[in-house]
């Protein structure tokens, strides 16, 4: 568990967590608010199998993962789930644009242009989320996170010291009495 929580990342990592977490949280919530446009309905149009199951599932992963990343709690596992999520999204929605045709049953959206530049334009947010998630997996949540706080508390509890009712310096008292 310590390896999952450990981080030497600077406090500024909270900025990357804020960006990644907010985008995924927002997108996850919207899959429930607008299922026809962004959830199961969109998944059916794209060609995602079992869209009535996968729409809510992906929405839940994005919502929960986004919240965990924002809090800096279980950041690495949450970022891994989001990295897998966004990888499938890129494969299903951006690769057909790059190829200019449907791919593995995923539909080609109607756009004015296809190829690399069209894909690069359409994938800009997805690629940022992919890189941000990867970054968080590598460096962890940073110092301003629940992960860091939990690990600090556990480490402090592991450090041997005097018992709460034990006097930390009994020798000084006895030596003072002898003088």
Is residue 166 a part of any domain in this protein?
no
Q: What is the pLDDT of residue 165?
A: 54
169 domain residue, yes or no: no
Residue 10: per-residue pLDDT? 85
- Residue 151 domain-assigned? yes
Supply the pLDDT for residue 170: 54
Q: Name the token pair of 24.
A: 């995924």
The answer as to whether 173 is a domain residue is no
At 29-72, the pLDDT tens digits run 999 999 999 999 999 988 889 999 999 999 999 999 999 999 99
CA angle 124, 129, 133 (to 5 degrees): 150
Task: Return the beta strands (E) in 42-111 as ranges.
Answer: none
- What's the structural domain count of the chain? 1
Alpha-carbon dihedral sign for residues 144, 145, 146, 152:
negative
Instruction: Answer whether residue 161 shows pLDDT above 90.
Output: no
Domain membership of residue 42 (yes or no) is yes
**176 within a domain of the structure (yes/no):** no
DSSP 74: S
127 has a pLDDT exceeding 90? yes
Mean pLDDT, residues 152-165 taken together: 63
Angle between helices 13-33 and 75-89 (to 10 degrees): 60
Which of 59-68, 84-93, 95-104, 142-151 has the highest average model confidence (pLDDT)?
Answer: 59-68
Which pLDDT band holds residue 9 (cuts at 50, 70, 90)? confident
- Rounded Cα distance between 19 and 69, Å, is 9
Q: pLDDT at position 155, please? A: 73
- Averaged pLDDT, 101-129: 85
Q: Is residue 131 part of a domain?
A: yes
How far is the C-alpha of 152 from the C-alpha of 73, rounded, in Å?
13
- Judge whether 69 and 79 are in contact, CB under 8 Å: yes
Q: Tokens standing for 16?
A: 């990357």
166 pLDDT above the threshold of 80 = no
pLDDT of residue 93: 87
Rounded distance between C-alpha atoms, residue 142 and residue 8, angstroms = 6
Q: What is the pLDDT of residue 32?
A: 97
- Structural domain includes residue 160: no
Domain that holds residue 109: 2-155
pLDDT at 158: 61
Contact partners, residue 12, CB within 8 Å, separation at least 6: 142
Query: What are 137's two structure tokens?
Result: 């997996």
Contacts of 18 (CB under 8 A, 6+ apart): 70
């Amino acid at each position: 568990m310590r390896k999952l929580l450990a981080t030497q990342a600077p406090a500024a990592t909270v900025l990357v967590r804020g960006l990644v977490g907010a985008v995924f949280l927002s997108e996850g919530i919207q899959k429930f608010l607008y299922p026809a446009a962004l959830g199961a309905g969109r998944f059916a149009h794209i060609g995602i199998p079992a869209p009535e199951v996968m729409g809510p599932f992906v929405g839940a992963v994005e919502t929960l993962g986004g919240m965990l990343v924002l809090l800096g709690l279980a950041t690495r596992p949450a970022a891994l789930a989001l990295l897998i999520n966004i990888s499938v999204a890129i494969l299903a929605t951006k690769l057909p644009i790059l190829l200019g045709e449907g791919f593995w049953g995923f539909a080609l959206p109607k756009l004015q242009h296809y190829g690399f530049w069209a894909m690069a334009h359409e994938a800009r947010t997805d690629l940022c989320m992919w890189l941000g998630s990867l970054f968080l997996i590598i460096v962890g949540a940073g110092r301003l996170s629940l992960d860091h706080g939990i690990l600090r508390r556990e480490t402090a509890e592991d450090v041997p010291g005097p018992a709460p009712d034990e006097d930390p310096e009994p020798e000084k008292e006895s030596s003072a009495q002898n003088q």
